[in-house]
Every structure is written in structure tokens, then in C-alpha cells.
Amino acid sequence: MMNRIDYIRKIAANNFWGDMARSPQDRQPLDDEGWNSLFISCLVNRGIQWERAMGSATELGFVNEMKMRSGIHDTLTLFTINNDVLLEWLAFDDDGDYAAAGGRNGSLLRYRYTVEHCHQAMCRIRDEWGGSARFLHADEPTGQQFLQRVMSFGGYGAKTSGLYCRVAVLSHGVTLWDNYAGLDISPDRHCSRVMTRLGLVSEDASPQEVIDKARELSPYAPVEWDGLFIIGLDYCHASDPECSICALIGVCGSRC
């Protein structure tokens, strides 16, 4: 009979491999411009929602919008030739938008933080990594080596670094020396909330504690626990969770 942890792991893994990871034949290789654009998009996801950062059917995406406004269509050039002040100005539609944003819950500070790290990151990619984020993984490092390289860039924390590495491997076919064992869970609010309600981590667990718990429970593929993101997004909401239709109702003691 399957024990509680194995059952939770199975649900998380099914969600992850079924909904979040592309099959090998569907993984899309990127050129140097694509890698630089992805690197900036994941970096700004720390201060900007995913759809705004990456683009969607209704959102142009941060990098493409910056390209359109500047007339510069190469990510490396765009974020190195312009200084922080010019990049900050480009992040807003016009002077009126720029002024208004300064008064809305610190959003101006968020953009200053974002463009400063974008500029610094692309300067480092240019000077230390041959002009392309592709070289961060070109030598097939271990997952932890890849993660540490990404985290060495200002603005990249545990969540966004894990996100970038996961997308690089599972959506774009990057090869790691230790395969999936080197990929960590991205400890976003949805995964953390579900793990807390399941009693796997404490309510005040840090992102690193969430990562460590996933490594403990699945040492060969801790990234599978990212599948709890689906549970958190669709059912285990911060308020008004839909426990009655959640696949984990039988093993969750929270019952919010």
C-alpha cells in the first residue's frame, strides 16, 4: 500500500511531468539571442508577474516591449548600450506613466531595481560569458553548478534561479551532467503554501528550507515537487481553497 509521502510525491510528479515539462521531442533549442532574452525575462520575474515578464497571448513581454520602445532588437546590445537611467525610462510608456508609477506602492522602485540588475547582468554576460547566456550551461555542468552560476548574478534569488534552470532544461533541452537530480524545486508562494498545509515544512519556512525538503523527499529528482504549483494555483488558494475537489484531500490534515 502506498504511504502518504509516496502518494503526495506521485501527485506532484504527475502534475509536473504531465503539465509543466515538455517532452524531449517538443523542447525548443534557442540561439544566443533567445538565451539572453530568456535570462532577462526570468530575472525580471522577481519583480514583475510571469505573464508580464515572459509574454503571453495578451502581453508583449518585458524584453520585447523594451526592444519595441528602444528600436534595438538585440537583447545584449539593448541592456548594455543603455545605462540604468535610460533603461528605467524605457520601462514606462511615457513621462505621465513614469510620474504616476512612482506613487503606486513603490512600483517605480521595483523598476529601478529591475533595470539595474538587467544592465549589470548583460554586462557580465558580455564580459565574462562570451556574450551569450548559453555559455552558462554549454559545458554540461551539474545542476548545482548551473544554479550557482545563475545565482551569482545580482537580482537572481533561489526562486528565479531555480525557475531559469528548470525552463532551460525542461523547455529548451539543456543537458546537465547529473540530469534531473541537479534541478531544484522553485520555492514560489504556491509550492510553499501547499507544502506548509501538508505539514512538510513549517509555516515560516524559508525558500531554502522548501528546497531542502524537496531534496530530502526526492533526492534523484527534487524538481518533481514543483508539481505542487498546480495544486496551489488551481485548488489550494491562499484564501477560499477548494479542498473538496483537490487530489490531496485524503492526505492533507489542513482542511482550510
Q: What is the mean pLDDT of residues 203-224?
A: 91
The whole-angstrom separation of Cα 71 and Cα 91 is 13
Q: What is the pTM of this model?
A: 0.79
Inter-CA distances, 188 with 48, 52, 57, 163, Å? 14, 17, 23, 9
Domains of the chain: 4-25+183-251 (1.10.1670.10), 28-136 (no CATH)
The band of 137, judged by pLDDT with boundaries at 50, 70 and 90, is very high
What is the per-residue pLDDT across 63-109, written as a single tens digit (0 to 9) for each? 887 888 788 899 999 999 877 666 766 665 444 444 444 444 444 44
What does the pLDDT read at residue 21? 61
Q: Inform me whether the pLDDT recorded for 39 exceeds 90.
A: yes
- 3-state SS assignment for residue 193: helix
What does the pLDDT read at residue 113? 61
The whole-angstrom separation of Cα 27 and Cα 235 is 28
What does the pLDDT read at residue 126? 97
Segment of 7-21, 74-88, 128-142, 201-215 carrying the highest mean pLDDT: 128-142
What is the per-residue pLDDT across 44-65, written as a single tens digit (0 to 9) for each? 876 566 666 666 555 567 788 7
Q: Inform me whether the pLDDT recorded for 226 exceeds 70.
A: yes
Q: Evaluate whether 182 touches 142 at the Cβ level (below 8 Å).
A: yes
The whole-angstrom separation of Cα 127 and Cα 161 is 21
Q: Please give the residue that has the higher pLDDT: either 148 or 111.
A: 148
Percent of the chain with pLDDT over 70: 78
